[in-house]
């Protein structure tokens, strides 16, 4: 097959669009959730949110709740563990989390309030999911 001849300005244009200079990084497409590293001797770590200390606060509230029976405390803790696991996913399933919070609200509404307040403020991505679920539950 014969190679198609390009005009000089097309070749020059293509060279300009691909050349970014020494030490540059050219990215095409979506890099959400990826690490992009440039240079020598870089240290890379994923910035993930550690929700464990936040949930420890909520678990403590459940354990010390004076009106909850032992069986309901176990159920509430199980629901909270499922919520915690779901929130660690890259894209948490809001409907799943909503159902867990709805179950908690039936057992003890104050647990849901404490959980929302604990989770809303200190963390960004998880806080947004929690805010949307809290809004749905308020309806």
For 4-34, write each residue's pLDDT tens digit. 665 655 555 555 455 566 656 666 666 655 5
Q: What is the pTM of this model?
A: 0.56
Predicted local confidence at residue 125, as pLDDT: 47
- How confident is the model at residue 122, as a pLDDT? 57
Q: What is the pLDDT of residues 81-114, one digit of tens each?
A: 999 999 888 888 999 999 999 999 999 898 998 8
77 pLDDT more than 90: yes
Q: Where are the domains of the chain?
A: 52-138
User: How would you label 17-51 residue by residue, b for 16+ Cβ within 10 Å and e otherwise?
Assistant: eeeeeeeeeeeeeeeeeeeeeeeeeeeeeeeeeeb
């Amino acid at each position: 097959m014969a190679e198609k001849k390009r005009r000089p300005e097309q070749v020059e244009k293509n060279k300009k669009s691909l050349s970014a200079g020494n030490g540059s990084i050219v990215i095409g497409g979506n890099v959400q959730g990826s690490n992009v590293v440039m240079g020598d001797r870089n240290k890379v770590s994923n910035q993930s949110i550690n929700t464990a200390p936040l949930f420890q606060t909520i678990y403590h509230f459940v354990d010390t709740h004076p009106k909850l029976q032992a069986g309901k405390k176990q159920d509430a803790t199980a629901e909270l563990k499922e919520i915690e696991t779901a929130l660690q996913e890259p894209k948490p399933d809001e409907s799943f989390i909503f159902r867990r919070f709805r179950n908690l609200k039936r057992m003890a509404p104050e647990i849901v309030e404490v959980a929302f307040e604990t989770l809303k403020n200190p963390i960004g991505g998880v806080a947004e999911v929690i805010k949307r679920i809290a809004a749905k539950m308020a309806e």
